[in-house]
């Protein structure tokens, strides 16, 4: 098991027991055949692949639907993993500490950008005298958690523009990305060169 961004991930190369197969390759084939269900929960590092706990739950539930005769066994496998996590609270303690450290780094990076900012990156308006500086993640933290502390992913913008952007993204049904920020800036007469 690995921790990433405070979440527990399990190696797909060791899923043969949970997936009720005796072969590591068969387990990998099962995961590959069900990528449409678990792709958002996969983390790849070098040649190793890991699956988030919720992804395992989803996969086992799907396998139970596909194979009703084994459904009880898949439910038992889900219960086993949940029990293992419950009986190993240090995993959650480590995850909590990792999350707290990430929050500290994120706040520090945002403060550094705020301290250097003199003008809104979109409108060019100087900060101060009633113009509040907000630091915005260009690629949203929920979309790209690995960029949460990257100064290149942070931009100083006016408070009113920041709120307007998020309202606009919500009204469009989109997500916080570089592309949507550029689209918003262009459609509202702001610069897209930042």
**Residue 94: inside a domain:** no
Q: Indicate whether 110 and 71 sit together in one domain.
A: no
**Residue 29: inside a domain:** yes
Residue numbers of the domain that contains 45: 2-87
Query: What pLDDT sits at residue 25?
Result: 87
Q: Indicate whether 136 and 69 sit together in one domain.
A: no
SS3 content of the chain, % helix, strand, coil (to 5): 55, 15, 25
C-alpha 123/C-alpha 45 separation (Å) is 39
CB-CB contact of 10 with 27 (8 Å): no
Q: Indicate whether 157 and 82 sit together in one domain.
A: no
**Residue 99: inside a domain:** no
Q: Indicate whether 12 and 78 sit together in one domain.
A: yes
Short-list 125, 148, 18, 21, CA closest to 75:
18
**Residue 77: inside a domain:** yes
Q: Indicate whether 39 and 78 sit together in one domain.
A: yes
**Residue 95: inside a domain:** no
Q: Indicate whether 118 and 152 sit together in one domain.
A: yes
C-alpha 194/C-alpha 87 separation (Å) is 48
**Residue 141: inside a domain:** yes
Q: What is the total count of domains within the chain? A: 2
Q: Indicate whether 112 and 142 sit together in one domain.
A: yes
Query: What pLDDT sits at residue 93?
Result: 66
Q: How far is CA 27 from CA 11, 12, 13, in A?
A: 11, 8, 8
Q: Indicate whether 74 and 111 sit together in one domain.
A: no
* Domain end position, chosen among 62, 87, 112: 87
* Domain end position, chosen among 57, 87, 117: 87
* Domain end position, chosen among 41, 57, 87: 87
pTM: 0.52
Per-residue pLDDT of the chain (194 residues; tens, 9 = 90+): 777 766 778 899 888 888 998 888 888 899 999 999 999 999 887 778 899 989 999 999 999 999 999 999 999 999 988 888 878 777 666 666 666 777 888 899 999 999 999 999 999 999 998 899 999 999 988 777 788 899 999 999 999 999 999 999 888 878 889 999 999 999 999 999 98
């Amino acid at each position: 098991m690995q921790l990433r961004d405070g979440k527990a991930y399990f190696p797909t190369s060791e899923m043969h027991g949970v997936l009720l197969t005796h072969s590591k390759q068969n387990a990998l084939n099962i995961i590959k055949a069900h990528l449409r269900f678990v792709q958002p929960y996969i983390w790849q590092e070098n040649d190793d692949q890991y699956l988030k706990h919720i992804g395992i739950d989803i996969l086992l539930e799907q396998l139970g639907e596909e194979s009703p005769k084994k459904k009880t066994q898949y439910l038992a496998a889900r219960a086993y993993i949940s029990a293992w996590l419950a009986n190993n609270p240090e995993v959650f303690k480590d995850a909590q500490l990792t999350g707290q450290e990430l929050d500290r780094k994120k706040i520090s990076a945002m403060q550094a950008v705020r301290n250097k900012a003199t003008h809104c990156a979109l409108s060019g308006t100087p900060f101060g005298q009633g113009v509040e500086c907000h630091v915005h993640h260009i690629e949203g933290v929920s979309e790209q958690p690995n960029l949460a502390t990257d100064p290149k992913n942070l931009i100083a913008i006016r408070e009113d523009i920041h709120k307007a952007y998020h309202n606009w993204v919500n009204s469009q049904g989109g997500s916080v990305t570089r592309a949507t920020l550029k689209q918003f800036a262009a459609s509202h007469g702001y610069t897209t060169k930042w």
